[in-house]
Amino acid sequence: MSEDVAALSERILAAAANGRALCIRGAGSKDFYGGPLQGEPLDTIGLRGIVDYEPTELVVTARAGTPLAELEAALAERGQVLPFEPPRFGGGTLGGAVAAGLSGPRRPYAGAARDFVLGLRLLDGQGRHLRFGGQVIKNVAGFDVSRLLTGSLGTLGLLTEVTLKTLPRPPAETSLRFELDEATALRRMNEWAARPLPLSASSYHDGALRLRLSGAEAAVREACGKLGGVAFSGGDYWDGLRDQHDAFFKSAATLWRVSLPQTAPPLRGDAPQLIEWGGALRWLAGSQDAVALRRQAAELGGHATLFRGADKSAGVFQPLPAALAQLHRRIKAVLDPAGIFNRGRLYPEF
């Protein structure tokens, strides 16, 4: 154990001995996300730097406190990217990105954060420095604890190091815009996704369907010819969705994230809405009737998250069925038996 990790381990042991809550925190860029922060801050920001990067392996290992910007800059130098386009929200860390498990516009076409996590190291609730997964793309030895940790919001342990799969930056990119009504846009996004087209992002807002195409020159050129629409310079637009500094997100003090099957029909109601992920993600601005929205989401095969908002009394995440809730409690007890990590961040009961 390195000195800084050992120091964190000691603090964890002390907190566990007293049953004192700890609030694991990187850059704090996602403090708004999840249940209210509780407990004494435990900073990962000192765990910084790329440990190993082999572009020809498509694998990068970095310490959890490494800023995403630093990591992405190092990849860009070698023509590579994090394909799941983690939101940076103005300055997130690698550990925060993996702990939150959020993915950006490319998610439905390239995969989610968890799809690119190959391995990680963590300090568990007993201060043990554990290592799961590995530095290779194919590895089926042992349970996939790395992916279990992805999106667990720090409730199972403190990430110290993460290994991700990278991909080459697509050589060509174009964005297209179409004027359409919502139902037609949803249908088109799904129809086009069923054809071998190099889609890499999609959104629908204010009567406009926008697509991003990324890939080989020939593939992007051919696809533009097939799809039509009006080309636009997409870089800033897609970054605006990824980091939520687009006007729609900026103006939404309360923001609901509704995750649905891609083909789900338009949601009822007239809340301002932005659709992403080929129809699989519907953002709603403003306060909603949480119970009704969650019921509707569940009926459609999805779930609703109160992504951002001052009043979180409705609960941030859709409640789990009893059997799953029980499994969650047991898994929590495996890695954090004293219940000290990020109390209430995921579900109020732990």
Partner 1 sequence: MSATAMNAAPSASAAALLPRLRAALPGEALLTEAEDLHPYECDGLSVYRGVPLAVALPATAEAAAQVLRLCREAGVPVIARGAGTGLSGGATPRAGTVVLSLARLNRILEIDPLARVARVQPGVRNLAISEAAAPLGLYYAPDPSSQIACTIGGNVAENSGGVHCLKYGLTVHNLLRLKVATIDGEIIELGAEALDAPGYDLLALFTGSEGLLGVVVEATVRLIPKPECARVVLAAFDDLGKAGQAVADIIGAGIIPAGLELMDQPAIAAVEPFVHAGYPLDAAAILLCESDGTPEEVAEEIVRMEAVMSAAGATDCRVSRDEAERLRFWAGRKAAFPAVGRISPDYYCMDGSIPKKCLAAVLEAIRGMERKYGLRCANVFHAGDGNLHPLILFDANKPDELHRTEAFGGEILELCVRHGGSITGEHGVGIEKIDQMCVQFGSEELEVFHALKHAFDPEGLLNPGKAVPTLHRCAEFGRMKVHGGQLPHPELPRF
List binders of partner 1 among 216-235 (CB under 8 A).
216-219, 222
Binding residues for partner 1 restricted to 7-46, rule: CB under 8 A: none
Neighbours of 292 (CB within 10 A): 12
Which of 33, 237, 307, 317 forms a contact with partner 1 (CB under 8 A)? 317
Q: Applying CB under 8 A, which part among 11-19, 62-70, 242-250, 315-323 lies near partner 1?
A: 315-323
Structure tokens at 127: 């201060």
Looking at residue 77, its amino acid is E
- Taking the complex as a whole, how short is the minimal distance between the CB of residue 222 and partner 1, in angstroms? 6
10 CA to centre of own chain = 30
Binding residue for partner 1 (CB under 8 A) from 158, 280, 306, 338?
280
Residue in 275, 274, 277, 271 with CA at minimum distance from that of residue 293: 271
Answer for which of 167, 180, 208, 271 binds partner 1 (CB under 8 A) is 167
* Binding positions for partner 1, 242-261, rule CB under 8 A: 259-261
Q: Which is nearer to partner 1, 156 or 176 (CB)?
A: 156
Site for partner 1 in 184-203 (CB under 8 A): 187, 190-191, 193-197
- Residue 155 Cβ vs partner 1, minimum distance, rounded to whole Å: 8
Quick one: 135 or 287, whose CB is closer to partner 1? 135
Residue 177 sits in the site that holds partner 1 (CB under 8 A): no
Q: Which residues have C-beta within 8 Å of that of residue 96, sequence separation ≥ 6?
A: 26, 27, 29, 30
The distance of closest approach from Cβ of residue 291 to partner 1 in the complex, given in angstroms and rounded to an integer, is 15
Q: Which is nearer to partner 1, 142 or 272 (CB)?
A: 142
Q: Residue 284: CB partners within 8 Å, gap ≥ 6? A: 255, 256, 258, 267, 269, 271, 272, 273, 293
Q: What three-state secondary structure class fits 95?
A: helix
Q: How far is CA 64 from CA 12, 85, 99, 247, 347, in A?
A: 17, 17, 10, 30, 24
Q: Strand 40-43 vs strand 22-25: parallel, antiparallel, or unpaired?
A: parallel
Say how many residues touch partner 1, by CB under 8 A.
82
3-state secondary structure of 43: strand
A 10 A CB-CB count for 78 gives 14
Taking the least distance from each CB to partner 1, the nearer of 26 and 133 is: 133
Verify binding: residue 331, partner 1, rule CB under 8 A.
yes
Which among 86-94, 204-212, 242-250, 298-306 is the span making contact with partner 1, rule CB under 8 A?
298-306
Q: Does 312 bind partner 1 (CB under 8 A)?
A: no
Determine which residue in the list 55, 91, 266, 286 makes contact with partner 1, applying CB under 8 A.
Answer: 55
Task: Give 172's contacts (C-beta < 8 A, 6+ positions apart).
Answer: 214, 215, 216, 217, 219, 220, 221
The CA distance from 133 to 120, in Å, is: 6
CB nearer partner 1, residue 36 or residue 142: 142
Check binding of 339 to partner 1 (CB under 8 A).
no
